[in-house]
Structure 1
């Protein structure tokens, strides 16, 4: 089965100031974010990606370009509107410190499945469109490139958290338990019976094992032997 790497964009000028950017145009990676995205590109250089699919927003496309620049071959580069940021409606463009005083804030934290942002989107609708997009692209990648294929989806924190919650079989009301940092990599394989989550919110470590073939759809009883260790220097 194919494997998707869920990559959050690097830190932005809005992230650094505590602003909820949402779908605001022109929000770019800051210096820290560019460094984070470059590091993620370096981590994935050892993984031959067949495709990089990005949210249309600038910060994701900038992060995706760092991944593309470090690939030896040329993966397909696609933009997917259904991976764009949640529509936060009237919350967009406001400071998180101010939003934390809103009556809706506690529900966002404890019962997100019931949240509809004023003038915007529900978190349930956000999850439905993002999960459907990931599964659609994953099926297309496997059909074209086979079960050993690896591809990357570059998106936003809440979207990736909701995709991981679905893959983990968690109710959306529990998705705030998941942390997805800037430029982090989470790894999911969708099998015939269930998804397998290989990693969540990683920002360091060798990923070359992903180039060594498809992941099995069955869970190894007892936990299995794990993936091969990276080669040591001088080996």
Structure 2
């Protein structure tokens, strides 16, 4: 597990954790500017409970890294356009924006988290780092648990595979016997069908014999009546 010192010293490690911006609000509410996207230098200082000078010096030392994290400095026409688009924007929500200022530094939540991983002398920054590392540890433990479960499932599946291999010859013999039974059933059905046809023929013969017997009986009765006369 990475330590707080490693997080402070390693830019690569800070980049690895740069997307975990949700930890900021878990430690303390981060007040955004009215655009809902950025925080000013004063707002960042207020969040970490340090002076604006501390944030400015940190920004100067790590400008390239913070710029990659979303920090931007507005000047000239860009600053004027931003102020026109955010007429209600205030300097930390109190009063109105000073109309005369040469530049305005804006921080995204990602950049604020980056500052939390750089700022040494702030209890809030330390809490953010601790929360970030604890959350990672919990994630690692969860991943390890999941990995163990996946391994157990794989082992079970391996056992099932072995059992299926052992059952293969047995299932093959059963399949052959079933095929043989199907063939015998087909032959039996053909015999039954032939017998059914023969019975139908015999039934017809019986009906014809009954008719002839009735005819002969009528003839005999007729002969007897004639003889009596």
TM-score range, shorter chain: under 0.3
Higher RCO, 1 or 2 (CA under 8 Å, sep at least 6)? 1
* Richer in helix (by share): 2
Q: TM-score, normalised by structure 2?
A: 0.20
* Richer in strand (by share): 1
Q: TM-score, normalised by structure 1?
A: 0.20
Larger Cα Rg: Structure 1 or Structure 2? 2
